[in-house]
């Protein structure tokens, strides 16, 4: 524990640095004023040691301990360059080892973030030379880095990169026996999701003017709550018309067809009458039924980007609606199910959520607007059980 002690009437700084006890005798006489001043300096030293920015010679330029620690650091650096690999060397090996346990789409995401963000910054550094402050400084750098649209990177993107960095460095520290700890680094707080579900009247108008060959596709999206990859990767073998179910067991991503987002995404979705009839109608237009339900004219998977840019946004614009992500079809389904009074547990299963928490946190504010009966159920309860009784007592 750091403290200010006294020797021969002079104050002494007593602290730990690089697993070594350090004691530095000063010329300050042991007076209350000098002790208070020394304690203030010691607090600053402790803070810099914690942040790994402490420069021993800056505070004690003539110290023999400073020379000893500097020589030790040079020796460790030399040893590091001979025995401990660079961040790039180890990370590539680690990703290769971990890949079998990841979804193929996730492997692509990890590799994308790894080579785009982490390698340019840390690739040539030896693992034990990377400090906590290096990671924090890099995180700050990411907050000012623009994405493809020219706006700053989202907090979620930055957090994913720091989490990946944390996983790699934690494993490296364990294997090569050096200290590294990012557990105290909390994720950045992001902006809440932009939820803009369509109302039933909005959906009706949309389906009336959307391109006819995409009407069944959008009915499926609006009333099943499927994710983009799930509906675009849907195959006829996954539709059970007899039991009116859509079996979600794969999704189409940038790197092809793979598993859904997570274990809860594997599920059976109930088809309402409208979806059931839309898919039956769509099936009549198909030439073969051993591949994707929604595909191009040459039977290849459809592109979500093309649908978003060439069908979704132009239709919204024609209706005079504000532009929004195609993912809003999923939010629309969730808000409509809640508004209709369906069981939250059933809705969570339909959406592939593990709990109902997200339903109430994200969608609940849209339920009254969907039915236009804000507080009416509560009013009826009061009228039936309290208001009438109070009236009778007068």
Q: CATH no. for residue 102? A: 1.10.150
Residue 384 maps to a domain: no
Predicted pLDDT of residue 152: 84
Residue 194 maps to a domain: no
8 Å CB contact between 11 and 26: yes
Residue 195 maps to a domain: no
Return d(Cα 362, Cα 116) in angstroms, integer: 32
At 141, give phi and psi (nearest 5°): -65, -40
Predicted pLDDT of residue 243: 94
Residue 393 maps to a domain: no
8 Å CB contact between 330 and 351: yes
Return d(Cα 98, Cα 306) in angstroms, integer: 33
DSSP 329-388: HHHHHHHHHHHHT--HHHHHHHHT-SSSHHIIIIIGGGHHHHHT-TTHHHHHHHIIIIIH
What residues make up the domain containing 68?
3-83
Q: How many domains does the chain have?
A: 3
List the pLDDT tens digit at each of the 394 positions of the chain: 789 999 999 999 999 887 788 899 998 999 999 999 999 999 999 988 888 788 888 898 888 888 887 776 665 555 555 578 999 999 999 998 888 888 777 787 888 888 999 999 999 999 988 988 899 999 999 988 887 767 788 888 899 999 999 999 999 999 888 888 888 888 888 766 678 899 999 999 999 999 999 999 999 999 999 999 999 999 999 999 999 999 999 888 776 787 787 788 899 999 999 999 999 999 988 766 568 899 887 778 889 999 999 999 999 999 999 999 999 999 999 988 888 888 889 999 999 988 888 887 787 676 655 545 555 665 666 566 665 555 554 4
Same domain? For 208 and 332 the reply is: yes
Return d(Cα 194, Cα 293) in angstroms, integer: 29
Predicted pLDDT of residue 69: 78
8 Å CB contact between 300 and 257: no
Write the CA distances from 91 to 133, 136, 170, 217, integer angstroms.
Answer: 20, 19, 11, 42
Residue 391 maps to a domain: no
Return d(Cα 180, Cα 162) in angstroms, integer: 14
Predicted pLDDT of residue 388: 55
How many alpha carbons fall within 13 Å on the CB side of residue 351?
Answer: 27
Same domain? For 107 and 204 the reply is: no
Residue 163 maps to a domain: yes
Kindly compute the dihedral angle of the four CA atoms of residues 256, 257, 258, 262, in this order, to the nearest 10 degrees. Answer: 100
Write the CA distances from 71 to 15, 64, 127, 132, integer angstroms.
Answer: 19, 11, 20, 22
Q: Show which of 176, 191, 215 is a domain's final residue.
A: 176
Same domain? For 365 and 326 the reply is: yes
Residue 12 maps to a domain: yes
Same domain? For 25 and 45 the reply is: yes
Same domain? For 226 and 365 the reply is: yes
Same domain? For 16 and 158 the reply is: no
């Amino acid at each position: 524990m750091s403290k200010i002690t006294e020797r021969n009437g002079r104050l002494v700084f007593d602290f730990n640095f690089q697993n070594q006890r350090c004691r530095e005798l000063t010329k300050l006489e042991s007076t209350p004023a000098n002790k208070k001043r020394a304690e203030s300096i010691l607090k600053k030293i402790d803070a810099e040691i914690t942040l790994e920015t402490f420069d021993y010679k800056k505070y004690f330029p003539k110290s023999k301990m400073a020379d000893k620690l500097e020589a030790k650091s040079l020796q460790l650096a030399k040893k590091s360059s001979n025995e401990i690999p660079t961040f790039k060397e180890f990370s590539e090996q680690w990703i290769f080892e971990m890949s079998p346990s990841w979804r193929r789409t996730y492997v692509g995401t990890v590799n994308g973030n790894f080579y785009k963000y982490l390698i340019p910054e840390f690739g040539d550094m030896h693992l034990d030379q990377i400090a906590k402050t290096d990671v924090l400084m890099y995180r700050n750098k990411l907050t000012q880095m623009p994405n493809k649209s020219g706006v700053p990177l989202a907090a979620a993107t930055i957090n994913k990169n720091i989490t990946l960095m944390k996983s790699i460095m934690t494993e490296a520290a364990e294997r090569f026996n050096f200290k590294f700890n990012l557990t105290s680094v909390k994720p950045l707080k992001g902006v809440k999701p932009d939820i803009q579900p369509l109302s039933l009247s909005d959906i009706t108008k949309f389906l009336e003017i959307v391109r006819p060959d995409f009407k069944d596709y959008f009915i499926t999206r609006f009333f099943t709550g499927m994710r983009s990859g799930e509906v675009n990767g849907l195959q006829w073998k996954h539709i059970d018309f007899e039991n009116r179910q859509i079996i979600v067991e794969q999704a189409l991503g940038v790197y092809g067809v793979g598993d859904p987002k997570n274990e809860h995404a594997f599920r059976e979705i109930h088809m309402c009458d409208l979806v059931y009839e839309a898919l039956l109608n769509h099936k009549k237009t198909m030439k073969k039924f051993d591949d994707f339900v929604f595909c191009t004219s040459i039977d290849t998977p459809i592109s979500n980007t093309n649908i978003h840019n060439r069908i979704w946004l132009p239709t919204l614009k024609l209706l005079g609606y504000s532009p929004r992500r195609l993912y809003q079809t999923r939010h629309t389904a969730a808000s409509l199910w809640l508004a209709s009074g369906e069981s939250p547990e059933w809705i969570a299963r339909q959406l592939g959520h593990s709990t109902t928490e997200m339903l109430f946190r994200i969608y609940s504010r849209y339920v009254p607007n969907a039915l236009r009966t804000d507080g009416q159920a509560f009013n009826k309860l009061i009228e039936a059980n309290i208001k009438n009784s109070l009236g009778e007592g007068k």
